[in-house]
Amino acid sequence: MPNPLHTLFGLKDDGTPLMFLAPIAGYSNAPMRRMSQRHGASLTYTEMASARGLLNPSEKTWSLLETDAHEGPVVAHLFGSDPSVFAEAAARVEQTNRFVAIDLNTGCPAWKVMDTGSGAALINDPQRIHDIVAAMRKSVRLPITVKTRLGPSPDNVAVYETLAAVEAAGASMLTLHGRFTTQGHRGQVNVELIGETKRRAKIPIVGNGDVHSCHSAWQMFEEARVDAVMIARAAIGNPWIFSDLRTLFTAKVKPVPHPRTNTRPRRDIHAIQDALDTHLALLRTHLLTLQEKFGISEDAEAAMVTAFRCHLFRYLHSLKGAGHLRGQLHKLSTLAAIRHAVTECLTREAEHRAEGEGRNEGEVRS
């Protein structure tokens, strides 16, 4: 049976399941989206932006929605609580002609977001969710989608009410993070409830939450039967997770589960270096664009270093010397310092691998 999301977002059907990059505050800007797309992400999301902020002359809010001309399909991800504000904000987003859909956040568990009645606080008010989606639906032609959670807490499953509300309002897709608000980003993801939501749904369902490896992605597809899987933290400094998944599903081989702390395959050192260089180049272009377009006066190199430090350690995850580098991240204040630290870490890793191969060879000969 054809996946309706290919048509909804104009995605190419290459025979493998759909994998999306989640909206990640502080991370999923244009450079990270480009890296994810290059390695196989079918669809990506912007960082979470305030719908109300888009109505004000706020450079910061609009900069969160800045896209790259060479990006693939991107969804604008918005938060707020006022239907009329969302209607106008959605119209302004659509006018940019840069997005394939507009997504409503009803799942962010951060208190500073929930205190405004936004994010996961909306789960307690399915009628308001309905009204926000309906207001945007009347205001734009773009598909309106929703990202939510299972409910406020394990003793209060609310996703079925949310599903009914968004379907009645005309939403085109629901992304379900398989945790409750009280869990934040910790604890077990309930794949069974995601699967039950999928069985009840009339619209496509995307599975999200703790998709940290090929095995967890396979489990989400096979057990919940979702239309797509959304990957968040596991993609930070690891764009290869999308290509790994594509290779896995093309081979039609069930992946072996790994311990939660060791889920990444060992990467070629040159591939890591190339990815770091590419990401840095994309980030530089992106920040210069923000400076020119929004008049941001911050020093480009300083902004680049600050923005990239949060990605750097993830790229070097589990490599020899990465632990030491993590403790020194706050001291990296120039691009030269970052490049030196990367070279040092990758050199240590290469030496460590060579020593290991030497030991193995010796064992075989003996």
Asked whether residue 190 falls in the same domain as residue 282, the answer is: no
**pLDDT of 364:** 43
Asked whether residue 297 falls in the same domain as residue 217, the answer is: no
Q: Which residues are catalytic?
A: 108
Residue ranges making up the domain that contains 70: 4-251
Is residue 365 included in any domain, yes or no?
Answer: no
Asked whether residue 178 falls in the same domain as residue 316, the answer is: no
Asked whether residue 99 falls in the same domain as residue 236, the answer is: yes
Maximum Cα–Cα distance for the chain, whole Å? Answer: 76
Domains in the chain: how many in total?
2
Token pair in block for residue 339: 């490049």
Per-residue tens of pLDDT for the chain, all 366 residues: 789 999 999 999 988 999 999 999 999 999 999 999 999 999 999 999 999 999 987 778 999 999 999 999 999 999 999 999 999 999 999 999 999 999 999 999 999 999 999 999 999 999 999 999 999 999 999 999 999 999 999 999 999 999 999 999 999 999 999 999 999 999 999 999 999 999 999 999 999 999 988 888 989 999 999 999 999 999 999 999 999 999 888 887 777 776 555 557 889 999 999 999 999 999 989 988 988 888 766 677 788 888 888 898 889 988 887 877 777 777 788 888 888 888 889 999 999 989 887 666 555 443
Can you give the CATH number for the domain in which 154 is found?
3.20.20.70
C-beta of residue 75 within 8 angstroms of C-beta of residue 43: yes
Residues linked to residue 149 through DSSP beta bridges, in sequence order: 177
Asked whether residue 192 falls in the same domain as residue 301, the answer is: no
| Residue for token pair 């699967």 | 195
Token pair in block for residue 317: 């995850």
Asked whether residue 229 falls in the same domain as residue 322, the answer is: no
Is residue 259 included in any domain, yes or no?
Answer: no
The number of beta carbons lying within 10 Å of the beta carbon of residue 7 is 10
Q: pTM score, two decimals?
A: 0.93
- Eight-class DSSP state of 265: P
Alpha-carbon distance values, 173 to 7, 33, 68, 130 (Å): 12, 21, 25, 13
The number of beta carbons lying within 10 Å of the beta carbon of residue 56 is 10
C-beta of residue 345 within 8 angstroms of C-beta of residue 325: yes
Alpha-carbon distance values, 52 to 79, 106, 177 (Å): 9, 15, 24
**Of 206, 223, 251, the domain-final residue:** 251
Asked whether residue 162 falls in the same domain as residue 233, the answer is: yes
Rounded Cα distance between 260 and 185, Å, is 14
**Of 195, 225, 251, the domain-final residue:** 251
Is residue 152 included in any domain, yes or no?
Answer: yes
**pLDDT of 308:** 87
**Of 251, 285, 309, the domain-final residue:** 251
Q: Residue 75: which H helix or E strand, with range?
A: strand 74-79
Asked whether residue 230 falls in the same domain as residue 119, the answer is: yes
Token pair in block for residue 314: 């993830």
Asked whether residue 218 falls in the same domain as residue 337, the answer is: no
Token pair in block for residue 13: 């059907």
Asked whether residue 288 falls in the same domain as residue 231, the answer is: no
Q: Is 142 helix (H, G, I), strand (E, B) or coil?
A: coil
Listed in sequence order, the residues at least 6 apart from 124 whose beta carbon sits closer than 8 Å to its beta carbon are 152, 158
